[in-house]
Amino acid sequence: MTEKVNIYNLSDAAIVELLGTFIRHHRLEQNKTQSQLAWEAGINRSTLVEFEKGAGGNLLTFIQLLRALNLLNVLKQFEVQIQLSPIQMAELEQKQRKRASKASKKGNKPASTDW
């Protein structure tokens, strides 16, 4: 049985290793070789080997690997959702135009037509 890991108790190096394990797990789950995944991600196989070991890599490499594994949805957690309070919503509704303004009489005549 697998044990839940408390990510807050991990060192930075352990988190990098966890990311490598994540990529390796999903690569094997999709039955892809390291060469296949590296080619699909546009990286060298040696870069993938290092990433899976938790020995190297960067954020761009991680994104390329997620894209190649069709796992970009993992990054949804990073989307910022702006929440408006009910008061802010009411203020925005108050500012919205409710009616069109009348044409002014200062020479702003409607365009004439040949009808």
Q: How far apart are CA 80 and CA 76, in angstroms?
A: 9
pLDDT at res. 113: 67
Q: How far apart are CA 103 and CA 109, in angstroms?
A: 8
Is residue 67 exposed (0-12), middle (13-18) or buried (19+ Cβ within 10 Å)?
middle
Instruction: Please list the pLDDT of the chain residue by residue as tens digits (115 residues).
Output: 567 778 899 999 999 999 999 999 999 999 999 999 999 999 999 999 999 999 988 999 999 999 999 999 999 999 888 887 888 888 888 888 777 777 766 655 566 667 6
The residue extents of the domains of the chain are 7-77
The answer to pTM > 0.75 is no
Dihedral of the CA atoms 44, 67, 14, 8 (nearest 10)? Answer: 160
- CATH match of 7-77 with 1.10.260.40: yes
CA-angle at 22, arms to 20 and 23, nearest 5°: 65
What 3-state DSSP class applies to 82?
coil
